[in-house]
Structure 1
Amino acid sequence: MFDTKAVILVLDDLAIWQKLNVTAFLATGLASAAPEAMGAPYEDASGRVFARLLGQPVLVFAATPEDLRRAHRVSGEKGLLTAAYVRAMFSTGHDAANREAFKAEPADAPDLVGIAIRGPKKDVDKATKGAKLHP
């Protein structure tokens, strides 16, 4: 049904609140960078309008550090839409500080705790090879 795939990989050994926080931030990264992937607004039976959601499923994987490194490498090689979250961002308090923390990471080996990818199915599958769906 979809010619693209959207995934989020989250480091498995994070605290639950960290996993949820990283997943939420990464989902917004995909949504903002791929407006064509957004569905129409939702409306309830009373006519109240709710925000649009991504129009395709997003698979969430429990990742090892190696899974994150592979996803980072392959997403760069294939030019896939990518959002990333590094460990240092847990210690910041606002968006500008997050961007500074992210920029301070080594480009070839950031301390990733999460990564989101969207692109052609076969390329995303290659980037997530070996990762397990989050339980």
Structure 2
Amino acid sequence: MEDNSPISFDTKVAVVLRDDLAGWQRLNVTAFLVSGLGTLEPEVIGEPYADADDVDYLPMFRQPVLVFQGGKEVLATAHARALKRGVAMSVFTADLFGTGNDRDNRAAVRAVGTAQLDLVGLAVYGPRNAVDRIVKGASMHP
């Protein structure tokens, strides 16, 4: 018998975006930020999908991705909290809008010290209560 009870998670995936980004930047940054989570944290990925005609589709995250926004200070605080708690994190800096490939993206981040990163977004994955504390002060993205 199949279990149809609601699924709850003790983990959370959250993205925090700087509130002054253009719409296309918000979408692009979010996609980049969450792209690495499944490779580092395989349990965040669910089972593959298939439709009624047996066409297969790629698996996706097994849980919702919550998207927040805030000013530069909110991102800096969230970044510091995530580092302190040691949760899985990805970052997107303003410099990455001027690069065109993965190698240059990594070099742009590598060239700047942690405290000087011009963060425009970050994604975190970890225990629900830790992620809640990390994103405290950010508001839900409209």
Q: What TM-score do the two structures reach when normalised by structure 2?
A: 0.92
1:95 to 94, 102, 105: 102
Displacement, 1:109?
2.9
Q: RMSD of the alignment, in Å?
A: 0.9
Change (3 A) 1:31 1:63: farther
2:32 to 17, 25, 30: 25
Alpha-carbon distance in structure 2 between the residues aligned to 1:96 and 1:112: 18
Alpha-carbon distance in structure 1 between the residues aligned to 2:50 and 2:23: 31
2:50 to 43, 47, 64: 43
Preserved contact between residue 88 and residue 101 of structure 1 (Cα < 8 Å): yes
Q: Which has the larger radius of gyration?
A: 2
1:46-125 correspondence to structure 2 within 5 Å: 46-125=53-132
Alpha-carbon distance in structure 2 between the residues aligned to 1:78 and 1:59: 19
Identity of aligned residues (%): 44
- Where structure 1 has 5 or more consecutive residues not aligned to the other structure, the ranges are none
Change (3 A) 1:109 1:126: farther
- Where structure 2 has 5 or more consecutive residues not aligned to the other structure, the ranges are 1-7
Alpha-carbon distance in structure 1 between the residues aligned to 2:98 and 2:42: 30
Q: What is the one-letter code of the residue matched to 1:39?
A: G
Segments ≥4 residues shifted beyond 4 Å: none
Q: Deviations over 1:71-104 (max 9, x none)?
A: 1101100000001000000000100000000111
